Structure 1
């Protein structure tokens, strides 16, 4: 089931532009819509059985998230990033998420810990890189949510959206399913122990390792 279908089933009143945005975002993040893909409004309107107005609004929201840009004579296009840009965003994530987790852990209640454990358990049923990447994204957002800072959360979500589509392949090739789950399990245990500093340091190391693996993979591809 796609994100659009699952969200539409649970929230039939959700605005159509949001459902279109969520589905296109999902396809961009999982690589189904690679960098450089043109997003033609007429074709999307036909696909989603909608007018161009909700499609235009969905594309505008994706533009604010940094996933889509408008190019002269091409319209909306999926944005790609080079390795330097991705690494810069990962450095920003390290700073933002480390700060957020230090603030979040003292506020975590049983419901927060249960939600994190539920996401961790979902890895057992996931078997592809894109699925791991989506669960990883949700785990990181759930970690930061108890910081109770909506502006910070939006920034973390924005930078996460712009890096997870590049790091899901790293998760598959470099870490594997069990490696990623083990890292998250250590973070969750630090949260249970109410050790915000340890949890933050583990999160920072977790993201830094993804950056190192991404750079190494890029270097090997160039050498090959």
Structure 2
């Protein structure tokens, strides 16, 4: 039996749990998420479960299908292109706004998050890769003065989580991510904003290309 849900509202707690279970593969693409079964498992009414499923639909994790309910979404080439193109547009803007006012303590925090990311990759702790990658990026953007853009990018990084985990399965991608993250820190510390923003765009684009190639290759199989 699942442990009782205790934090924030019931709906947001269910969103968090279901999102992690989808990312972990407990609910593969095409799985049906039945409101009554989930309500029984979490020992709640169907109302917060229904709210959670609508939120997960907005995040792209499920599709609400008439007469079938919530179905776990598959990996989508269109979504990859959309999400990563948006990231390429918005994240350099946040980086350019945030980095000039990051403190030494802020940079230490960024470096600490990168170290945690590398530790998780070394340990093959797949469940943490996407979250730690998002934490690293958001720490670099933390002092940006565009709160709406920050909220949008946070959502895009959350959506990217399942794709980031997939892309980092390859050792070459892991090593490249490590090198690019550390170079991004170095350029940002040095105040080389044009170079840092260019690297960030390239970094996001390379991940997109890896994922597109993976899905296209899988489609041939």
TM-score (norm 1): 0.85
1:189 aligns with 2:183: no
With over 3 angstroms needed to count, the CA separation of the structure-2 counterparts of 1:207 and 1:174, relative to structure 1, is farther
2:92 maps to what in 1? 98
Determine the C-alpha separation between the residues in 1 that align with 2:86 and 2:53. Answer: 25
Which residue of the other structure, out of 6, 14, 24, is the alignment partner of 2:8?
14
With over 3 angstroms needed to count, the CA separation of the structure-2 counterparts of 1:223 and 1:56, relative to structure 1, is closer
Deviations along 1:56-93, one digit per CA (max 9) or x if unpaired, are 22222222223222101111222224323312321111
- Retained in 1: the 8 A contact 2:130–2:160? no
1:44 aligns with 2:41: no
Alpha-carbon offset, residue 217 of structure 1: 2.2
- Retained in 1: the 8 A contact 2:7–2:13? no
With over 3 angstroms needed to count, the CA separation of the structure-2 counterparts of 1:57 and 1:140, relative to structure 1, is same
Which residue of the other structure, out of 192, 202, 207, is the alignment partner of 1:205?
202
Which residue of the other structure, out of 150, 162, 180, is the alignment partner of 1:153?
150
Q: How does 1:34-113 map to 2 (within 5 A)?
A: 34-113=28-107
1:217 aligns with 2:214: yes
Q: How does 1:106-185 map to 2 (within 5 A)?
A: 106-126=100-120, 127-173=124-170, 175-185=172-182
Alpha-carbon offset, residue 124 of structure 1: 4.0
1:28 maps to what in 2? 22
Alpha-carbon offset, residue 21 of structure 1: 1.0
TM-score (norm 2): 0.86
With over 3 angstroms needed to count, the CA separation of the structure-2 counterparts of 1:15 and 1:222, relative to structure 1, is closer
CA RMSD of aligned residues (A): 2.4
Gaps of 5+ in 2: none
Determine the C-alpha separation between the residues in 2 that align with 1:111 and 1:55. Answer: 40
> What is the SS of the residue equivalent to 2:64?
strand
Determine the C-alpha separation between the residues in 2 that align with 1:102 and 1:77. Answer: 39
